[in-house]
């Protein structure tokens, strides 16, 4: 099983997301993985969205195998002040993913509701790309709304070990939820095992 979200290259394949603009060369160099170009919402306040839009168009044209990410919103205490800048930068990424028909790899810490309304608006405007929600830990109701937008979800050991994991993940169809290491390769085998247990017996979480 490949790793659906990491920033650490490996030889088993998976999606390798950039965090800053300077990472784009590095993610392309990891030949066994799908490179993802983006700027993490943590850095939204320090980049020029117009320049990122230009660069994304150029790099996605040059690398047809690449996806878009990491992007998204983060409303935790340390980052909520830049939420408006994050939204502008997210729209830049989503626009590029839509135009180039790539998947957008999304972060949504404490911001799933904001993310959902922004994505719903894109769906109404017929400009919604394919989306992956990483470290998904939202409510089952919200998961249903994101499923209607075609989302897939990724979870790591941290999410699967949470006391609310049963409630959160039991009703997400098996073909819409995948494992991620999120930079903890040592946890990945256990994460895969827990998810496969769930595939074999959907009640394993209940």
In the numeric block, the tokens 């993985």 are attached to 33
What minimum distance in Å lies between the beta carbon of 93 and Zn ion? 14
What minimum distance in Å lies between the beta carbon of 74 and Zn ion? 11
Where are the extended beta strands (E) located within 54-129? 67-72, 103-107
Q: Between 23 and 70, name the residue whose CB sits nearer to Zn ion.
A: 70
Are 182 and 5 spatial neighbours (Cβ–Cβ below 8 Å)? Answer: yes
Pairing of strands 67-72, 130-133: unpaired
What minimum distance in Å lies between the beta carbon of 132 and Zn ion? 11
Size of the site for Zn ion (CB under 5 A): 1
Q: Between 67 and 70, name the residue whose CB sits nearer to Zn ion.
A: 70
Q: Between 18 and 94, name the residue whose CB sits nearer to Zn ion.
A: 18
Q: Between 71 and 203, name the residue whose CB sits nearer to Zn ion.
A: 71
Q: Partners of 132 in the beta sheet?
A: 105, 152
Q: Between 70 and 187, name the residue whose CB sits nearer to Zn ion.
A: 70
Rg (CA), the chain: 16
What minimum distance in Å lies between the beta carbon of 182 and Zn ion? 6
| 21: its two tokens | 């603009």
Q: Between 120 and 158, name the residue whose CB sits nearer to Zn ion.
A: 158
Burial of 23 (0-12, 13-18, 19+ CB in 10 A): buried
What minimum distance in Å lies between the beta carbon of 105 and Zn ion? 8
Binding mask 53-82 for Zn ion (x = CB under 5 A): -----------------x------------
Residue 70 CA: distances (Å) to CA of 96, 173, 193 = 13, 24, 25
- What is the end-to-end Cα distance of the chain in Å, rounded? 24
What minimum distance in Å lies between the beta carbon of 6 and Zn ion? 7
Residue nearest Zn ion, CB atom distance: 70
For residue 34, give the 3-state DSSP assignment: strand
- Residues found near Zn ion in the complex (CB under 5 A): 70
């Amino acid at each position: 099983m490949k790793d659906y979200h990491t920033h650490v290259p490996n030889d088993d394949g998976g999606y390798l997301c950039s965090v800053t603009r300077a990472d784009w060369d590095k993610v392309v160099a990891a030949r066994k993985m799908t490179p993802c170009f983006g700027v993490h919402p943590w850095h939204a306040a320090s980049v020029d969205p117009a320049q990122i839009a230009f660069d994304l168009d150029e790099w996605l044209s040059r690398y047809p195998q690449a996806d878009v990410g990491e992007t998204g919103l983060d409303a935790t205490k340390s980052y909520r002040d830049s939420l408006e800048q994050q939204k502008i930068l997210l729209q830049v990424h989503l626009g590029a993913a839509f135009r180039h028909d790539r998947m957008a790899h999304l972060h949504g810490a404490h911001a799933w509701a904001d993310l959902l309304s922004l994505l719903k608006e894109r769906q109404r405007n017929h400009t919604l790309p394919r989306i992956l929600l990483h470290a998904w830990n939202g409510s089952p109701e919200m998961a249903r709304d994101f499923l209607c937008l075609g989302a897939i979800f990724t979870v790591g050991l941290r999410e699967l070990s949470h006391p609310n994991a049963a409630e959160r993940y039991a009703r997400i169809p098996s073909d819409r939820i995948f494992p991620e290491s999120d930079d903890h390769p040592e946890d990945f085998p256990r994460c895969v095992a827990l998810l496969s247990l769930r595939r074999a017996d959907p009640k394993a979480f209940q």
